[in-house]
Structure 1
Amino acid sequence: MSYSDGMETTNAAPMSGRKAQAARNDQTILQAARAVFVADPGAPISAVAERAGVGISALYRRYASKEILLRKLCSDGLKLYIAEAEAALADERDPWTVFADFMRRIVDADTHSLTLSLAGTFTPDEDLFRESAYAEELATRVFERARDAGVLRPGLDVADLSMLFEQIAAIHLGDEERTAQMRHRYLALILDGLRLTSAEALPGPPPTAEEIGRRWIVT
């Protein structure tokens, strides 16, 4: 993002008090929903209202069903992943630094906790499928740039990244700061393995698109 001069950045009209409060309330609901459903995907929507400190009717005015709320959470997660991938593609530093920093930012964003918890619990809509396809396209470009620069071990596939992110997201130690520390500890070990350009061939093929996608099918 760039700004042409300081004067132009002051022209945007601030939200009214009511709109600003509504935006804050919505963010509070989404943060509560993420915490509730990552911990327990089967939790009722009333648990979200309780955690957010809002009435159930206020929650339903924004999200008419749990299904809609889950879609919103996943959509927001995909948008965050997309933004980080776009930032990586715009980064002109050396390919390994760009790739490693992208991996670190995705771990910090914790988008894959949503995959671990919510896959198969609701039916994605067309918008989610489009966002997912775009996120995959960008991730492939980030991966291929690093691979083509010769900084990744042979035999890797972009689909391997999804599995690695999910393994790291599975680390939960109760304390958020300690969890983040441990996730980056194991990411550092993973990055060392990804950079072993003279390593032996990996056992077995990478996950297929069908293997990754089947988890989102509600049975």
Structure 2
Amino acid sequence: MTTAPMSGRKAQAARNDELILTAARAVFTADPAAPISAVAERAGVGISALYRRYPSKEALLRKLCGDGLKLYIEVARRAVDDEGDPWEVFAAYLRGIVDADTSSLTIRLAGTFEPTEELFRDSALASELAVRAHRRAVEAGVLRPDVTPADLALVFEQLASIKLGDAARTAELRHRYLTLIMDGLRVPPSRSPLPGPPPGEGELERRWVPDGRGKG
């Protein structure tokens, strides 16, 4: 069965929606108090086009967090369903959550809007799957038993707080420190090669200069 191509108007609406959501994530993870007009400006769409799709800032925040939860569920479900090597499955789960970057939304948007029943249900499912992924790793003897799912949730948030350079460098550094953390989580502890180089002095200094400018 083939999917019929969208009409020009529908295709444009879909493109606008993608632009709006990408812009909203960038705007609100930087400043949850930013006005919705900042999203329209960053997305390059008219404010009326944005309001036709999302009638309020709260509706847009709910959509962002709902999409983030669904992505988390997808990653966690893969881990729960995978019957492969227990540590490799668990490590892939950790890497998948870091790549999904859903914790950036948690850090910045938690408590800024009223959740819907659907969000509560998806949150409960995400928690259930995270517990199951954790329990499998503990029962297989590959994960320290004194580490809890709540510990891992805060590890994800700590890694999401790393933002240095462009998106590629940020991702590289997050995986560098995730690898360090995983070596400590694993039973027995391991000593894996670390992805990418450590941050240079210039990279750290640039954080203190407006607009990221500074000596390299």
Residue 85 (structure 1) aligns with: 76
Hey, what's the Cα distance between the residues in 2 that align with 1:128 and 1:79? 10
In structure 1, what is the equivalent of residue 198 of structure 2? none
The CA deviation at 1:197 is 4.4
Q: Is 1:182 equivalent to 2:173 in the alignment?
A: yes
Of residues 168, 192, 206 in structure 1, which corresponds to 2:183? 192
Distance 1:119 1:173 in 2: 23
Q: Deviations over 1:156-177 (max 9, x none)?
A: 1111111000000000113211
> CA contact under 8 A between 2:98 and 2:174: conserved in structure 1?
yes
- Aligned match of 1:107: 98
* Paired residues, number: 189
Q: Spell out, residue by residue over 1:115-156, the C-alpha distance to the aligned partner (whole angstroms, 9 max, x if none).
A: 011111111111111110011111111111111111011211
Separation in 1 of the partners of 2:188 and 2:149? 16
| Mapped contact 2:141–2:187 kept (Cα < 8 A) | no
2:11 to 20, 26, 38: 20
| Aligned amino acid, residue 122 of structure 1 | F
Are the equivalent residues in 2 in contact too, given 1:88–1:102 (CA < 8 A)?
A: yes
What is the CA RMSD across the aligned residues, in angstroms?
1.2
The residue type equivalent to 1:54 in the other structure is: V
C-alpha deviation, 1:188, in angstroms = 0.2
RCO higher in 1 or 2 (8 Å CA, sep ≥ 6)? 1
1:160 to 141, 151, 163: 151
Alignment partner of 1:55 is 2:35: no
* Matching residue's letter, 1:41: P
Once the 2 structures are TM-superposed, how far is the Cα of residue 178 of structure 1 from its aligned partner?
A: 1.3
In 2: Cα distance, 1:46 partner to 1:184 partner? 34
Please give the alpha-carbon distance, in whole angstroms, between the structure 1 residues aligned to 2:99 and 2:131. 20
- Tell me if structure 2 keeps the 8 A contact 1:85–1:142: yes
Secondary structure of the residue aligned to 1:14 is coil
- More displaced stretch, 175-184 vs 16-25: 16-25
What are the ranges of 5 or more consecutive residues in structure 2 without an aligned counterpart? 190-216
Q: Distance in 1 between matches of 2:104 and 2:116?
A: 20
Equivalent position of 1:208 in the other structure: none
Q: 3-state DSSP class of the match of 1:182? A: helix
Give TM-score scaled by structure 2 length: 0.84
Q: Deviations over 1:176-208 (max 9, x none)?
A: 11111110010001101110448xxxxxxxxxx
Question: 1 CA distance for matches of 2:83 and 2:187?
Answer: 23
1:154–1:197 contact (8 Å) kept in structure 2: no
The amino acid of 2:115's aligned partner reads P
**2:145 alignment partner, SS class:** coil
